[in-house]
Amino acid sequence: MENSQDRYGFVGVLLEEDSDKELVHKIISSNSNLILGRLGLPRVDGKGLSVITLIVHGTTDEIGSLTGKLGCLKGVSVKSGLQKKRVDE
């Protein structure tokens, strides 16, 4: 059932070579209930930069918690975008 605060959006995750990729995947997996789709591109620069894009659906608090956990990790940069209107509008 959709909550009136539910929104659709995306989360972009950039992983530098020295990032803890195993912990990133653990955090993403523990939030699988929010994730509708996932695309991962390893070593996009031919060196150590990897990119993960997530399509998400959840409350702003749930999505914010996910991005906050990822964003505080060393070597990880996170950007997200959510639809302006709530799902029920």
Q: How does pLDDT run across 9-31, given as a tens digit for each residue?
A: 999 999 999 899 999 999 999 99
Neighbours of 36 (CB within 10 A): 11
> What distance in Å separates the CA atoms of residue 42 and residue 59, rounded to the nearest whole number?
29
Q: Where exactly are the structural domains of the chain?
A: 6-81
Query: Which of the residue ranges 3-7, 45-49, 57-61 would you say has the lowest mean pLDDT?
Result: 3-7
Closest among 19, 49, 75, 66 to 40, alpha carbons compared: 49
CATH for 6-81 is 3.30.70.1150
pLDDT at position 1, please? 43
pTM of the model: 0.87
- pLDDT single digits (tens) 60-79: 999 999 999 999 999 999 99
pLDDT of residue 86: 64
